[in-house]
C-alpha cells in the first residue's frame, strides 16, 4: 500500500496560506499591492476588530472582466509575469499569483469588480476557497475585496493571533508606509466605523505632520543622489528626534517597501556618535534602480530583497547619508511636550514623543551665522530717557555669580573689547555658567554649549586627521618626562605605540617598562604630559573592553577625552570665542565622540510658550 498521497487542493491551499497570510496585516499588504498595481489613485482601507472580523480594500483601479476575476482567485494565476525571465525585470509589486487564492481559502471572501464603461459590477463570494455565489451588482469602476472571519476554518492559526491592539498596530504601521510611499494616491482609513484619516491631496508634508506632529516635515533633512546605477531621494530625521525603535525607517526600492539589514546598518553608522545607544534614526528613503540588479523573490511576504552587488549599493548609499548628516544643524531643541494620540480608540500604535520641531532643519553654516549675528549684535539706546538712566541701562553690568566672560567688543574707556558705533554699541553675548557651560545669544533664541564635550569634539577630529594624514603635530619638551608603566599598561602601550607617534607623542624607551616623553601633541597642556599619557592608556583599555572600537578611533577618543577642557575650568572671553569657532569648524559639532550632545538650543518661541506668551 502506498504511503504517500496527494493532498486535496483545499488542504494544500490552507497550508500555502500559512506562508503568505500570517496575520491580518498580511491580507492588507497583499490587497494594497494589487490595488496599486491596478493603477488606482484612490484607495480605502476599512477594518473591524483589528482585521479579524473584516478587512476591506476598495480601489478605483482598472477592474477585471469576468474571466480574469475568476482566474485571479486561482493559485499561480497572475497578470504580472508570463515566464521566469520576467522575474528579472519586475515593475509590479505583486507577481506570484498566490495571494487571493491563499486569502480566500482561510476566510469568507468577496470580490466585486467593474471595468470602465460596465453598467454593473461583478460579485463573487467564496467560503474556504470555494465559489458559492456569483452575481451582478451596482458598482463603480475598480475593485473591492472584503475578507471576513479570517482563519475561521484554521482555529489553530486564529488562536495564535495577538491582542487587537497589537494586530491593529501592525496594520496601521503598514498602511502608514503605503500612504507615505504613494503621495499621488488619495488614502482613507476607517477602523471600527471611525475614520482615522482621509488624504485627498498629494502633499507629503501634510501626511508627515499628521503622523508625527505639526512641523515635523519641515524639520527633516532632504537626501538626494542620482547616478547611472542608483537614484536615492527622501528624508532623514534629526538625532534629537530619534527613539529606540526601527519602525519609522522606510526603505522603498522601486516603490516596494523592503527590509534590508545592510541599509539599516549603513544608515545607523552614518549618524555615528550623534545617536545614543539603541537609538534608530527616522528615514523615508526611495531607491530607484534597474530591476535586474535586485532579487525580490526571496521571501513569501516579499519584504526582503537581495542586491546583485550589495557592496556597491552600500558604498553609494553611506556617503550620501553621511554628507547630509554633516551638513545640517542637528543640535536638539529643548522639549516642549509630547504629541497627543491620533485616535482615542486605537491610537497610533507607538506615538513618537517628538519635541517641538516647528523650526525647519538648517545647515551647520546657517546655525553658525545665526550665532555670529546673535552673539555680536549691536544695541542702540532708546531716545528720551531720563538723564543718567541711559548710561545705567546700557553700560555693562556686573556679571552675576557663576558667570564670567561678559564683555563688549572693542570699546571706549581704554577697553580694547568695546567698539563705538555712533550711539550704538556692539556687545558680545557669550557667558560662562558655573565654569561648565557656555551660553550664547543667537539670532533665533539661545544656544548652550557644554565646554568639555565641545573641546572633546574638536580634539577628536583633529587627532583623527593627524593620524590619517601623518601631519607633523609634535612639540618638543625642554625637559623630557619619565613615565613608569605597570605591566598591563605596558602591553597597551606596545599595542598603540606607533599610533601614539603619529598623533604627536615623541617617546623613547628607557629601561624596562619606562618611557621618556620627549615631545607631545600641540594641544597637550604644559605640565600634564605624564598624566595625559597614563590616562589615555587607561581610557583606551576601558574602551577596548566595553566598546570594541577600531584602534585609531579608540586612541583618538581616549586622547580627546583626557586632554579636553575640564568642567570647572574658567575661560576668558577670547577662549570661549575660539572654542565656539573651532567647534563649528568640525564635521560633526553636535555631539562628542561618545555620543553626548554638545549644543542645545532654545528658540524664542519656546521661551514665549513657557512664559505664557501668545
Last residue of a domain, one of 199, 217, 234: 199
Q: Of the candidates 176, 199, 222, which is a domain's last residue? A: 199
- Full DSSP string of 189-226: EEETTEEEEEE-S--HHHHHHHHH-TTHHHHSEEEEEE
d(CA 452, CA 468): 24
Residue after which a domain boundary falls, among 199, 220, 249: 199
pLDDT of 94 strictly over 80: no
Confidence (pLDDT) at 345: 45
CATH number at residue 474: 3.30.1370.100
Residues 129-166 pLDDT 10s: 899 999 999 989 999 999 999 999 988 888 888 889 88
**Domain check: are 161 and 26 in the same one?**
yes
Q: Decide if 303 contacts 259 (C-beta within 8 A).
A: yes
Asked whether residue 577 is assigned to any structural domain, the reply reads no
> For residue 433, what are the β-bridge partners?
403, 437
373 backbone dihedrals φ, ψ, rounded to 5°? -70, -30
User: Looking at the structure, do residues 315 and 189 belong to the same domain, yes or no?
Assistant: no
Give the Å distances, CA to CA, from 251 to 89, 209, 224, 235, 260. 20, 19, 14, 11, 8
Looking at the fold, whether 98 and 230 belong to one and the same domain comes out as no
Is 524 contained in some domain? yes
- Based on the fold, state whether residues 187 and 275 are members of the same structural domain: no
DSSP alpha helix (H) spans, 403-528: 451-469, 487-503
* Host domain of residue 323: 205-327
pTM, two decimal places: 0.60
Please report which confidence band the pLDDT of residue 336 belongs to, taking 50, 70 and 90 as the band edges: very low
**264 and 127, same structural domain?**
no
pLDDT tens digits for range 183-192: 999 999 999 9
Task: State how beta strands 283-289 and 249-253 pair.
Answer: parallel
Q: 234 is written with which cell numbers?
A: 527622501
CATH code for the domain in which residue 174 is found: 3.30.565.10
Q: Is the Cβ–Cβ distance between 408 and 418 less than 8 Å?
A: yes
**Contact call for residues 161 and 16 (beta carbons, < 8 A):** no
Is residue 557 in a domain? Answer: yes
3-state class (DSSP) for residue 296: coil
Query: Quick one: 145 and 261 in the same domain?
Result: no
Average pLDDT, whole number, for the chain? 79
Q: Is the pLDDT of residue 249 over 50?
A: yes
Residue 7: strand, helix, or coil: coil
Q: Evaluate whether residue 570 is within a structural domain.
A: no
User: Do both 138 and 39 map to the same domain?
Assistant: yes
Q: Are 476 and 531 contained in the same domain?
A: yes
pLDDT (tens digit per residue) in 418-439: 334 444 445 678 999 999 999 9
- CA-CA distances (angstroms) from residue 258 to 8, 69, 250, 508? 34, 28, 8, 56
How many domains does the structure of the chain reveal? 3
Assign 384 a pLDDT band (cuts: 50, 70, 90): low
Q: Which residues contact 297 (CB under 8 A, 6 or more apart)?
A: 87, 95, 96
Based on the domain organization, do 48 and 163 belong to the same domain? yes
Residue 192 φ/ψ region, left for φ over 0, alpha for ψ in the -120 to 50 degree band, beta for the rest:
left
Where does the pLDDT of residue 80 fall: very low under 50, low under 70, confident under 90, or very high at 90 and above? very low
Strand, helix or coil at 114? strand
Asked whether residue 366 is domain-assigned, the answer is no
Q: How far apart are CA 276 and CA 280, in angstroms?
A: 9
Alpha helices in 272-388 (DSSP H): 310-327, 364-375
- pLDDT of 325 higher than 90: no
Residues 37 and 166 in one domain: yes
Residues 102 and 247 in one domain: no
Phi, psi angles (nearest 5°) of residue 351: -60, 135
Whether residues 56 and 164 fall in one domain = yes
More confident residue, 385 or 439: 439
Closest CA to 425 of 394, 388, 379, 390: 379
Note the pLDDT of residue 195.
Answer: 95
Beta strands in 237-282 (DSSP E): 249-253, 256-258
- Give percent of the chain above pLDDT 70: 75
Q: Which residues are registered as beta bridge partners of 484?
A: 514
349 within domain boundaries: no
Choose among 38, 58, 35: nearest CA to 47: 58
Residue 331: which of 434, 224, 446 has the closest Cα? Answer: 446
Amino acid at each position: 500500500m502506498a504511503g504517500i498521497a496527494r493532498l486535496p487542493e483545499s488542504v494544500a491551499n490552507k497550508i500555502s496560506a500559512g506562508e503568505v497570510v500570517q496575520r491580518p496585516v498580511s491580507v492588507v499588504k497583499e490587497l494594497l499591492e494589487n490595488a496599486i498595481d491596478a493603477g488606482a489613485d484612490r484607495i480605502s482601507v476599512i477594518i473591524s476588530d483589528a482585521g479579524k472580523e473584516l478587512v476591506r480594500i476598495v480601489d478605483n483601479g482598472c477592474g477585471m472582466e469576468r474571466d480574469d476575476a475568476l482566474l485571479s482567485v486561482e493559485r499561480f494565476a497572475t497578470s504580472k509575469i508570463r515566464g521566469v525571465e520576467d522575474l528579472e525585470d519586475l515593475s509590479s509589486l505583486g507577481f506570484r499569483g498566490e495571494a487571493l487564492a491563499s486569502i480566500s481559502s482561510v476566510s469568507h471572501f468577496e470580490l466585486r469588480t467593474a471595468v470602465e464603461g460596465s453598467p454593473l459590477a461583478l460579485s463573487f463570494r467564496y467560503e474556504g476557497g470555494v465559489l458559492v455565489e456569483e452575481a451582478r451588482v451596482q458598482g463603480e469602476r475598480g475593485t473591492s475585496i472584503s475578507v471576513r472571519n479570517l482563519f475561521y476554518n484554521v482555529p489553530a492559526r486564529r488562536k495564535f493571533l495577538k491582542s487587537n491592539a497589537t494586530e491593529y498596530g501592525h496594520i496601521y504601521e503598514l498602511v502608514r508606509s503605503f500612504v507615505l510611499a504613494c503621495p499621488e494616491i488619495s488614502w482613507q482609513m476607517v477602523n471600527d466605523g471611525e475614520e482615522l484619516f482621509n488624504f485627498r491631496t498629494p502633499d507629503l508634508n501634510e501626511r508627515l505632520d499628521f503622523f508625527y506632529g505639526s512641523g515635523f516635515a519641515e524639520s527633516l533633512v532632504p537626501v538626494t543622489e542620482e547616478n547611472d546605477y542608483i537614484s536615492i531621494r527622501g528624508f532623514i530625521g534629526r538625532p534629537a528626534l530619534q527613539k529606540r525603535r526601527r519602525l519609522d525607517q522606510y526603505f522603498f526600492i522601486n516603490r516596494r517597501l523592503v527590509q534590508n539589514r545592510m541599509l539599516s546598518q549603513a544608515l545607523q553608522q552614518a549618524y555615528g556618535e550623534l545617536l545614543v545607544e539603541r537609538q534608530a534614526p527616522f528615514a523615508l528613503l526611495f531607491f530607484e534602480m534597474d530591476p535586474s540588479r535586485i532579487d525580490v523573490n526571496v521571501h513569501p511576504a516579499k519584504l526582503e530583497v537581495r542586491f546583485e552587488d550589495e557592496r556597491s549599493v552600500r558604498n553609494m548609499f553611506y556617503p550620501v547619508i553621511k554628507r547630509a548628516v554633516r551638513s545640517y544643524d542637528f543640535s536638539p531643541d529643548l522639549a516642549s511636550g509630547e504629541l497627543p494620540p491620533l485616535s482615542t480608540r486605537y491610537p497610533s500604535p507607538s506615538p513618537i514623543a517628538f519635541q517641538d520641531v516647528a523650526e525647519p532643519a538648517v545647515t551647520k553654516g546657517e546655525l553658525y551665522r545665526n550665532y555670529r549675528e546673535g552673539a555680536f549684535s549691536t544695541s542702540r539706546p532708546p531716545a528720551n530717557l531720563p538723564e543718567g538712566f541711559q548710561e545705567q541701562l546700557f553700560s555693562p553690568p556686573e556679571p552675576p555669580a557663576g558667570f564670567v566672560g561678559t564683555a563688549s567688543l572693542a570699546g571706549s574707556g581704554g577697553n580694547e573689547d568695546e567698539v563705538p558705533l555712533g550711539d550704538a554699541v556692539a556687545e558680545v553675548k557669550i557667558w560662562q555658567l558655573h565654569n561648565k557651560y557656555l551660553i550664547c545669544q543667537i539670532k533665533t533664541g539661545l544656544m548652550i554649549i557644554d565646554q568639555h564635550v565641545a573641546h572633546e569634539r574638536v580634539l577628536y577630529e583633529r587627532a583623527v586627521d593627524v593620524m590619517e594624514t601623518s601631519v607633523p603635530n609634535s612639540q618638543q619638551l625642554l625637559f623630557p618626562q619619565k613615565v613608569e608603566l605597570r605591566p598591563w599598561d605596558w602591553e597597551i602601550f606596545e599595542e598603540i605605540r606607533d599610533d601614539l607617534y603619529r598623533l604627536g607623542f615623541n617617546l623613547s624607551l628607557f629601561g624596562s617598562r619606562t618611557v621618556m616623553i620627549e615631545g607631545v601633541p600641540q594641544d597637550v597642556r604644559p605640565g600634564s604630559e605624564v598624566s595625559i599619557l597614563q590616562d589615555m592608556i587607561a581610557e583606551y583599555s576601558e574602551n577596548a573592553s566595553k566598546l570594541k572600537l577600531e584602534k585609531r578611533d579608540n586612541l583618538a577618543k581616549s586622547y580627546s577625552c583626557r586632554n579636553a577642557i575640564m568642567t570647572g575650568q574658567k575661560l576668558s572671553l577670547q577662549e570661549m570665542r575660539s572654542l565656539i569657532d573651532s567647534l563649528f569648524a568640525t564635521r560633526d559639532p553636535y555631539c562628542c565622540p561618545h555620543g553626548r550632545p554638545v549644543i542645545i538650543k532654545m528658540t524664542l518661541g519656546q521661551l514665549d510658550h513657557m512664559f505664557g506668551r501668545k
